[in-house]
Each structure stands twice: as C-alpha cells, then as structure tokens.
Structure 1
Amino acid sequence: MSQTISCIIMRGGTSRGPYLQISDLPQDRNACADVLLKIMGSGHELQLDGIGGGNSLTSKVAMVGASTHPDADVDYLFAQVGIVEKTVDFAPNCGNMLAGVAPYAIETGLFPASEGTTTVRIHNLNTGKIIHSTVQTPQGKVEYTGNTIISGTNSPGAPIQLTFLNVEGAKTGKLLPTGSALNIIDSVEVTCIDAATPVVLIQASDLGKTGYETPAELDNDIEFMTRLEVIRLQAGELMGMGNVSDSVIPKPILLSPARFDGTINARYFVPHKCHKSLAVTGSIAIVTACCLPGTVASKLIGDKDSESHFTLEHPSGKIELSAQRKEDNLSALNSVSVIRTARKILSGTVYLN
C-alpha cells in the first residue's frame, strides 16, 4: 500500500510549494527530510517524480502545526529542498512562503477565522521569532482575490500583512554577529547582519558590478560567482556560523543606488543563483541595515534616521516595507512590516512511493 500525505499547494508571495501538517511528518529531522525529498522529487533537475518545480523558488516546503509558544497561535517550520542534490536545509526562514501560513492554518482548522480580517500569530521554528499575519476573511473564509499586486507575480490578490517582531539575531542571536557594522573580506567592505535572516551586504561597484545586471548575467559570470562564494564562506566563519558550504545562509546581497525613486537597489542570491526578485527576509535585513549607522547600506543611501518607509528595487520591480523604530533608539527596530499575497492552487494527496 502506498504511503500518502495530505497537502495544499500554494503560492506564497513570490515562492510556491506544498503546505503540510507538522503532525503528519516524522519528528526526527533526518526522517522528515527523507519524506520531503520524496514529496518534491529531488535528485532530478525537473523533480519529475515529485511536485517540486525545478527551481529554488518552487522547491520549498512549509510545515504548520499547533503552537508550542505561549505568544503564538501556530508553529511554522520551513525547509529549502535541493533539486538535483538530495539536500534539505531547515536553517533558513522564508518570508514569502510565510504569506501562506495563516491562510493554510485557517483552511485546515488550526486557527479559527474572524469576520472581516484575521490575525494569526506565527512562531517560526527556524528562527524562534514571532510574526503576525493579518489576512482578509470576509464571512469567516480566507479571501485570495483582490487588487494588490506584488512584483514577481503575474496576478493580483488580497493583501496579507506580515509584521516581523524583534528581527535581530534570527540565527546567530546577534544583530551584528561580527561585532562591527563593517568588515573587510577579500579586500571588500561588507556588512554581516542577522535580521530575519543572516546576510552579507556588499556594494555592487566593489565587485566590479553596476548592481543593475539581470540575474542571468550575474549567474553566468563564473569568476564573479566564485568570488562571491569565497566572501560568503568567510562571512559565515566571521558570523560564528562555522563552515557554511552546505548551508544556504548567510545570503549575499549586492547593493547599489536606486534608479526608480526607491530607497536602494538590490540583487539577492539564494545563495548560488541570483533571485529573480527579492526575498522578504532579505528585504528586512536590508531595511534594518539602512536604519543602522555605519553599514554598507546606510552609507550608500545617506542619513535615514527618521525614515519609516522603504522601497527596495530588484530585478522584477520593487518591494515596500515599513519599519517601526524604538522610541529610545531610532537605529533599533521594534518590527518590520510588508504586504504579500497568496494563492491556493491545489488541495490533495501526495503519494510517497
């Protein structure tokens, strides 16, 4: 008899993947990883025997369950699943897949909907952080259709507001894991910052780039990509993360001046390919760095001590975020909010053998 597992496939932000019940999966991480590899069909570039999409943005899994945190309503565990490589990384978070967590929780009865809007408090098991997700629920049901358009998607949807609380030190426990806003790696100034996710910020011109190249142009520059990985690996060591050669974090990000009236322009790597848009967690890290004096980001954009709204330009358009600053220290943030959309695509059963 075939083993099966129930799932809902959803687009969350600019990512897509299956949403699963944590209780349906093995508690042991290695055993859980084996199940996810089967579900996604990893080991083949097209993931032919599974439901993965053959791309890092469509080879993601969100697992949701009853909360184990007193300040949250549900738990959320994210996994980045390899495509050709049979790897599963539970270390990073994904803010785009996060957009589908509250709708999934309501759809599956993990959390009751309210009339009008519903806010679900989400405990991210990857980082230990809390995120509040507010979704549209007219007549007590999740509304997916709407007029909100986010760059990197081809259809509008209902707005989902994600508010990330206490973003500092998501993986390392420190906002600046190296102890400094600036470090020199491979003769280049970098900022190693951990806010929502650990990243390495680099001014594009310092690596001989404009920062406006297409993802394909950057991916195809082997010399550049090799140097970027050298910097990333050294940054991982400096951030106290050890050997990160088999991890997708920290993520490198190239920064350059905005061209279309935004705050700053970015090219985000995942980490061995350039993202076609910009990850939510990476966006939060950039905004946090923009608010912190002495970082690569703040030096690039100038003094933004009182700014609360930020527009980040990326290959597919832009992403807008708002920062809530602490009253006693404007360089520190209470939370960062962003609007995403989600779409339910399929509800069904996956066969594991």
Structure 2
Amino acid sequence: MDTGMEIPEYQLFIHPSVVSELRKDIWIDDPVNAKLTINKKKYEIEIAYRGSHIRDLRKKSYNLSFYKPGMYRNAKEYHLNAEFMDPSLLRNKLSFDFFNEIGCLSPKSRFVYMKINGKNEGLYLEIESVDEFFLANRQLPKGSIFYAVDGDANFSLMSHLDKEAKKSLNLGYEKKYGTEHSDAQLQEMIINVNTISREEFEHEIVKYVNVDKYLRWLAGVIFTQNFDGFVHNYALYRNGETGLFEVIPWDYDATWGRDVNGEIMREDYLRIEGFNTLTARILDVKTFRTQYKNLLEEILNSKFNVDYMKPKIQGMHVLLRPYVLKDPYEKGNIETFDKEPDFISTYIEARGNYIRSQLDTLD
C-alpha cells in the first residue's frame, strides 16, 4: 500500500433541525437530504443510518445515496462504516481485499475522513454497494442480487431462527436487484440444495451453484474466522449468463482474531468445515472436499501467512494513524490501535497453524 497517500475528506452538511430528528430515533430507516463536499465538488445526497446493533454506538454508520449528480465514482450508493468496535479500524477492509485476492467477488473499499456540519466525525470505511453498478463496474453479466439480512439465509428448508419449516424460502433474503423471476430462481436453488440425492449431488449442484467460487468464499470465511458469515453477512449474485449463484462477503469487521464486540476470539473457535446446509452438502462430496483442502493449502502458502499479510497490515496502520489522532471517538485508544498490527499478525500465525493441523480431517 502507498502510505504516502492522503485520505479524502468528506464535508457533510445536514440541516440542524434534521440532525435533531435523526437523533430522536436512531432506528428510523428513512433517509434525509444532505449536502456533501468532496475535493471542492458539491453533491446533493440522501443519508440514513445503517446497521442493527451498531446504531446504539456513539459513532454512527451511514448509507449515502447520490442524486445530484446521480453518480459518484461509478456508483449511486455507498456505505460509510464507523468500524467502532474494531480497535484496529482496518479488519473490514483487510477482509474485503483478502477475499478479492483469493478469487472471490468482493466490494471495493477505502478510508475517508468525515466532518458533519464542521464537526470532526473521524475515520470511516467507504464500502461499495453490491448492486447493478457493482456488476457493471466489473463487466459482469446482469443478474439478481440478494442480501442475506438475517440467520434464515442458511440455504435450508428449516428456519435458523425458530427451528421450524420456513413459511417462505425467501426468508432471510432481501432482493437488492433483479427481475420478477429472481425470487423463483432463488427458491429453486434452495430446494435443489436440500433435495438432490446424495448420489446425484456432485453432478447436479453445479447447475445451480458455482462450486469453485463457493469454496473460495468458504475458505475466506474460515481464514478470517467470521462466525456469522455462514447465515448472514453475505450477498448472493446469480450470474444471468451461467445461471449460477456465488457468494459475496459483507460486514467483516468481526474477524482476524476479534468478535463482534471487539473481544478476543480464539484461533480455534471456528471449525474448518464451517456451517450451513450448502456447505455441509458440498463437503460431503469427496471431489469437492479434496478441492477445498487443496485450496486451503494453496492460500496458506501464498496469502494467509505473516510474510504476505504483515506489510499490508502495517501499510494500512501507518496510513490511518494520523487520522486516528484527530478522530474524536478514537484518539483516546491510540495505544490499543498501535498494538493491533502485532495482534493480527499473531492471529494469522496461530490460525494458520490450526488450519494446517485440521487439513487431514478433509481426507
């Protein structure tokens, strides 16, 4: 990473009366009008709070939608994450970049520094929205996109939340982009995941799921140890040309050795076989299991090791540090922030050793 680069400053103006309305009810989802200045260029936008449990935190996260002009950096919408529970502030970006490097579709992200009505709000991670522009920017075929919004996005006929048969197979998903046929295509995939016979599964599932891409996503979840990643924290993209589904990671701050509350997560907390119905069925096939084992070994040797990752971690840390010292919510935590690169490197070493010790279970 080029540590000499500067982080762009976002100057946001929200009418004081609107700010008061927002603060009265943090759970409101309706966006409000605002003005945003970036590099002296002005944009009219809509802004809303984002997230669930994170709305209770002092530093809020936001969705930004551009409408005058209607696009910014080839996108209509961005997410600004406060990363307030991550003492390093960099786990989400580190994860998205890692997923991209191991061959998964993954959102682009960058750090920005935000002021609201002249007041410092500090560092944010700007994350690309997974939508039709996400596809267009990668010259990918049009297709449907679903967000996994709760634990019922478990690829099962049974609810993860109440342990009963689902009333609808669309439970757990929110359609972000698609046609009137998209819901039926999602349901068809879930039905087949659950009903194809064991004998036919290896040859039939490849008509619905891009198995290579799924195994790469599974490996990414396992290495970063995102415990929620199997039934939540992802998007589904159905390629309109191939008809195959693949998974895109989302919300990966609770990773690299820390959980959703920022507490230490042991390196052996998450088993390498992962969870959810589709994962279990794919890894039940010896051919796929061997493919997955070889993929884990390849990534351990090439990407998930301290020699490869440490320069990336240190580069991000050096880039962020001057801005952390200006961030009203983070500057008091600078000692912890400075220890995080070593903490993450220690996690990588320990997690890598654990995964190596478990590879034989995939034989």
Instruction: Report the TM-score when normalising by structure 1.
Output: 0.28
Higher-helix-fraction structure: 2
If each structure's strand is expressed as a fraction of its own residues, which one has the higher value? 1
Larger Rg: 2
